[in-house]
Structure 1
Amino acid sequence: MNVNVGNIDRAIRILLGLGLIVATLAGAIGAWGWLGVIPLATGIFRFCPAYLPFGIRTCAVKK
């Protein structure tokens, strides 16, 4: 599995995912907040399957 998520993208995904999960646990939003697991996982593993068909990479390419 190749890395295709850069550092800034990764930080945003992790913060967004954690924010949604915390808001769900606090009762501020409904059960849809558990979708925060998706950006959290893609941030942790630095791989986004949705980027593959479009050839998007937000990280630096190693030469």
Structure 2
Amino acid sequence: MCNTGFFDRFLRVFVGGLFVFIAVFTGWVWGYIGLIPLLTGLFGFCPLYTIFRINTGCKS
């Protein structure tokens, strides 16, 4: 199941990776919240999108 498009996934992976990178190298604990967009971008599925019936690219 996929409900995120290419640009949406790219942005999530980039921003999530950036937050995790900052968390690992600076010790900023809140940076680990970046795991959520990172994983949703890698898997191409966002649970909130299903709740709000949003689909940014993939055919369902």
Q: TM-score, normalised by structure 2?
A: 0.90
Task: Name the aligned partner's letter for residue 11 of structure 1.
Answer: F
- The gaps in structure 2 that reach 5 residues or longer are none
Describe the superposition over 1:5-56 as per-residue Cα deviations: whole angstroms up to 9, x where unpaired: 00000000000111001111121x6201001111010001000001111100
Whether 2:21 is the aligned partner of 1:17: answer no
Identity rate, percent: 37
Return the match for 1:32 from 27, 30, 35. Answer: 30
Helix, strand or coil at the partner of 2:45: coil
1:61 CA drift (Å):
2.8
Q: TM-score, normalised by structure 1?
A: 0.86
Shift >4 Å, 4+ stretches: none
Q: How many residues align?
A: 60
Deviates more, 1:41-50 or 1:52-61: 52-61
RMSD (CA atoms): 1.4
